[in-house]
Amino acid sequence: MKRTHLKSDNASQIIMSRRHYNLPPLTTLSAFEAAARHLSFKNAAEELSVTPGAVSHQIKALEGDLETTLFQRKHRGVDLTEDGKALYEALSSSFWRISKVLATIRDRKSGGKVTVGSTTAVAALWLSPAVIRFWREMPDVNVDQLSQDRPFRDRPDVDFFIRYGRDPDPNLTHTPLFRDHLIPVASPEVADRLAGADLDALAAERLIHMASEDRTWTTWPEWFKQLGYVGTIPIDSRVNSYSVALQLARKGAGLTLGWQRLIQPMLQSGKLVAIGPHYLTAPNQFYIVGRPDEDLSDSARALKSWIIQEVQDGSV
CATH 3.40.190.10 at 181-281, yes or no: yes
- pLDDT higher than threshold 80 for residue 3: no
209 to 204, 218, 221, 222, 267: CA distances (angstroms): 14, 10, 9, 11, 20
- pLDDT higher than threshold 90 for residue 198: yes
Q: What residue spans define the domains of the chain?
A: 2-101, 111-178+286-312, 181-281
- Cis peptide bond upstream of 129, omega within 30: no
Give the list of residues 6+ apart from residue 270 with CB closer than 8 angstroms, or none: 188
Q: What is the pTM of this model?
A: 0.63
The pLDDT tens digits for 113-148 are 889 999 888 898 889 988 999 999 888 888 999 988
- pLDDT higher than threshold 60 for residue 27: yes
The pLDDT tens digits for 293-309 are 888 888 899 999 999 99
What is the third-level CATH fold of 2-101? Arc Repressor Mutant, subunit A (1.10.10)
The pLDDT tens digits for 36-81 are 999 999 999 999 999 999 999 999 999 999 999 999 988 777 899 9
- Are 2-101 and 181-281 in the same CATH fold? no
- Architecture of the domain spanning 111-178+286-312: 3-Layer(aba) Sandwich (3.40)
Cα 28 from Cα 62, distance rounded (Å): 6
